[in-house]
């Protein structure tokens, strides 16, 4: 299921006339991430709530549809996101165990990344 739709544009490049749209997408996407980080400084719960919302998925789906006008491609993208969310949650496991392990941040980050990657590879294998 993952990557089941091929690109309609084999040599996709940003053309000069598309640069303003690309910059708008970049700015709005970065604003969501920066806004969540700033909100977390004031309230950890509020920052987590913003990130827990599927804003990046929603933005990505809107950008994909804007660029391709291809509902089937967006549906396949949404399906793949749906199946990859559970293994992505494995990233947080070392942080949840930190009170017991007392690992430093970067160790938790690396272990979380490794566990999440393994879960995603397993999900990809299971979906084939």
Does the predicted TM-score (pTM) go above 0.85? no
- pLDDT of 119 strictly over 60: yes
Which tokens in the block code for residue 127? Answer: 């979906």
Cα gap 4→128, rounded to integer Å = 10
Residue 21: predicted pLDDT? 81
Residue 49: predicted pLDDT? 85
The Cβ-side half-sphere exposure at 109, using a 13 Å CA radius, reads: 3
Q: pLDDT digits over 8-65, tens only?
A: 555 556 566 777 888 888 898 889 889 888 999 999 988 888 888 888 889 889 989 9
**What pLDDT band is residue 7 in, cutting at 50, 70 and 90?**
very low
Q: pLDDT digits over 62-112, tens only?
A: 989 999 999 999 999 999 999 999 999 999 999 999 999 999 999 999 999
């Amino acid at each position: 299921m993952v990557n089941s739709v091929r690109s309609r544009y084999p040599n996709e490049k940003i053309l000069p006339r598309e640069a303003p749209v690309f910059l708008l997408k970049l700015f709005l996407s970065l604003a969501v991430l920066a806004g969540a980080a700033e909100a977390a400084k004031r309230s950890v719960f509020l920052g987590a709530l913003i990130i827990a919302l599927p804003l990046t998925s929603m933005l990505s789906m809107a950008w994909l549809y804007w660029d391709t006008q291809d509902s089937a491609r967006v549906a396949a993208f949404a399906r793949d996101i749906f199946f990859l969310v559970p293994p992505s949650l494995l990233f947080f496991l070392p942080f949840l165990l930190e009170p017991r392990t007392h690992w430093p941040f970067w160790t938790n980050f690396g272990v979380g990344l490794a566990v999440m990657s393994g879960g995603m590879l397993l999900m990809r294998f299971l979906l084939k």
